[in-house]
Amino acid sequence: MNRPERNLTTGDIRLERRLPSYWRVTFDMPPVNIFGPKQLPLLGDIVTAIETDPDVKVVVFDSAVEGFFITHYDFLAPLEESLSIPPGPTGLQALPDMLVRLSRAPVVSIAAIRGRATGVGSELALASDIRFASRERAILSQWEVGAGLVPGGGPMARLPRLIGRGRALEVLLGADDIHGDLAERYGYVNRSLPDAELDGFVEALAMRIASFDKEAIAETKRLVDVASLPSDAEIKPEWDAFLAALGRPASQTRIEALMARGFHRAGDVENRLGFHVGQIGT
């Protein structure tokens, strides 16, 4: 039986139940949608709701912050805050756990990318089932190697399956911005659409899927997952490598150089992170 629509506000992340079968999750962490230990439990609760609600069939992830889908992890938060969050039901640490669970949930997840999906934003998009990008305004990147870090949310396991080994290495090791059209050509996103058409297209697809039978959706997705998703064993080393990289002097020096330029603040570094990570080692 369908339950009444209920909307949930968790501060930085809003869950709107547009229909019992169709939900929207909106990130609202101004000024640049930085994601960190404060947001991990919030997103974890939403992923649990997605997994367990009997009615929901499709969930769309989007942003309320101009120019940013989700950007990078919070490097100003004490590391202890991230380490103190217990592993999730998969046994993985909190961020990779919830991304793995999202990929396997019996619900279709769609990332509607307008603005920068950088680091964690890219990793959430890759964990989603389907990705659509604004042609003019979407930017995806895994910038971490440029700062002496290793990405921690699963892109090394997921990207080669989507775009092939060579292109995955270009994205990961080039650490540069990938705009909407190139992301579509590479297969990083399903489609890039004119910005004015993105919302209408995603809404129409979400409503269409929400009208279908949940069991048929879930079983079809499960069988696709068998052929396409990485195992937990492939995901786990990435978060461990990310945490280990944070303690290296080389990465600390590069992060400090980015901070001196304006990293973590609204402005040119966050708007052109790919450019700036290419400058700090020269």
Residues facing residue 131 across a β-bridge:
111
- Rounded to whole angstroms, the Cα distance separating 269 from 35 reads 17
Question: Is residue 66 among the annotated active site residues?
Answer: no
Task: Determine the distance from the C-alpha atom of residue 278 to the mean position of all C-alpha atoms in its chain, rounded to a whole number.
Answer: 23
Closest CA to 222 of 129, 126, 130: 129
Catalytic residue among 5, 144, 203, 238: 144
In this structure, are residues 110 and 250 in contact, taking their beta carbons and an 8 Å threshold? no
Catalytic choice (123, 184, 238, 270):
123
Cβ contact 152:238 at 8 Å:
yes
Residue 123 annotated among the catalytic residues of the structure: yes
Q: 140: which 2 tokens?
A: 């995806």
Residue 274 corresponds to which tokens in the numbers above? 């790919």
Active site residues: 123, 144
